[in-house]
Amino acid sequence: MDNRALTALLSSLLPELLLLLLLISPLAADNFSSPANPLSPLIIHFLSISQTAATISLLSDNRKRSRSPESDDPTAGIGPSKLRRTAGETDFAIPRNPDSFNLCFNMNSSTFEWLSSLLEPLLECRDPVNSPLNLPVETRLGVGLFRLATGSDYGKIARRFNVSEPVAKFCVNQLCRVLCTNFRFWVGFPTPNELNPITESFETLTGLPNCCGVIHCTRFMIMKLVSIDEQEPIAAQIVSDSSSKILSIVAGFNGTKGNQLILKSSSLYNDIKSTSLLNSPPIHINGVSIPQYLIGDQGYPVLPWLMVPFDQPVANSYEESFNSAHDLMMVCGFRTVDSLKKWGVLSKPIKEEIKTMVAYIGACSILHNALLTREDYSCLSDKSDDYLRSCHSHDHRVDVDVSLKDDSVEQKGIEIRKVLSTRARRCS
């Protein structure tokens, strides 16, 4: 018996002992409630105190159990007490094994706890009107992350976390809403000062100066709601740095369109064209002005701020060295895409509306950057460079947007690329 239970038992027996003493004492024949009895107020005081103590002890024990409904098995939880199973959850809702934890949530337990603390007020403040969920934040977060990490259907999620399917869906949507509304700055394009370490990192990697990121377009599949046999591609345009962190992402485009058309339709294109982005002073190489630029694949045109590989370069030439450096940088973008597709909800066709799929892409992108910031590499792709090239280099879709075709602009881009190739040669 633990100390709290023993205290409660002794406190409850004390009134009986006092009454027994009163009955066998010489004063027992006197009127107990009589003011003439000098012991009556003292005994009443002890009776009151002992009963109150017993009640408080039992209530405190019950409240403690309701707040921390842990298993009798001391190994039932993993890590912090916040992650232990709560009453009503199934045995496997919060896994014990760290590897299983990563499989369920695509992060380690410390990141899960950090997210719980960060998101708690936001996840709990918008329950359905007149129908509060009365779920701890760990369960709310666990439901949402389990859907994103595994792509499981709502029936399986509901059974695992012992909630109804509507509640499971609410928790998933609420997590995506909170992330995409309150934390979208985690995937915002860097400020000029923030770009400096990014350009330095790319230059260290390849010798190419002033590169601010790798742009890549990929497709995610959804099943049409009217027919599970029909699938529809949703395109996402992503800019990454050398660590595969996402610098910019826009999603929801018709995936049958080519990369040029998607680029032209994006806010990134308009911001660069209006000099709202990539507007730092250029550097100069051999008398040529080199602005800040991005690296892209053959699905894009060559522009002063967008460098694509040379077509069929001569062996052992500057152009071949440039393509080798370009290829190494593109792998950073491929790794970003492959990491996003490790989230189960993005790895396979999901039967959802387009807007919901876009929310999934946004939420997983934000979580991707959050994990990298915390040096939690649970969901960073560990595939080889060759594997990433073979899987993602075919993502580009070549089309020609005549509005992007400008001979003078193209010529300027070609000139910049030619000068840059001399730097790639020096580092090869």
pLDDT at residue number 126: 81
How confident is the model over 401-428, as a mean pLDDT? 82
Average pLDDT value for residue range 373-382: 96
- pLDDT bin (cut points 50, 70, 90) of residue 62 is very low
Give the model's confidence band at 128: pLDDT under 50 very low, under 70 low, under 90 confident, else very high. Answer: confident
Query: Per-residue pLDDT averaged across 181-204, rounded?
Result: 96
Amino acid symbol at 348? K
**Of 269 and 99, the one with more pLDDT:** 269
- Kindly list the distances between the CA atom of residue 390 and the CA atoms of 228, 335, 340, 385, in Å, as whole numbers in the listed order: 29, 12, 17, 9
Q: Cα dihedral sign for 410, 416, 417, 418?
A: positive
Tell me what pLDDT residue 402 has.
55
Answer whether residue 27 shows pLDDT above 50. Answer: no
Here the tokens at position 38 are: 């000098």
What pLDDT score does 395 carry? 67
Task: Give 293-328 pLDDT, tens digit per residue.
Answer: 999 999 999 999 999 999 999 999 999 999 999 999
Instruction: Answer with the residue of higher pLDDT: 246 or 7.
Output: 246
User: pTM here?
Assistant: 0.77
334-367 confidence digits (pLDDT tens) = 999 999 999 999 999 999 999 999 999 999 999 9
What distances in angstroms separate CA 222 from CA 148, 232, 251, 366, 371, one per listed residue? 14, 5, 13, 20, 26
Report pLDDT for 120. 95
Q: What is the pLDDT of residues 96-114, one digit of tens each?
A: 677 888 989 999 999 999 9
Average pLDDT, the chain: 81
pLDDT digits 0-9 by tens, 135-170: 999 999 999 999 999 999 999 999 999 999 999 999
Q: pLDDT at position 319, please?
A: 95
For residue 332, pLDDT over 60 is answered with yes
274 pLDDT above the threshold of 80: yes
Number of H helices and number of E strands within the chain?
Answer: 15, 8
Kindly tell me if the per-residue pLDDT of 133 is higher than 50: yes
Nearest to 295 by CA among 247, 230, 358: 247
* HEC string for 232-271: EEEEEEEEECCCCCEEEEEEEEECCCCHHHHHHHCHHHHH
What's the confidence (pLDDT) of residue 406?
A: 74
Higher pLDDT, 228 or 345: 345
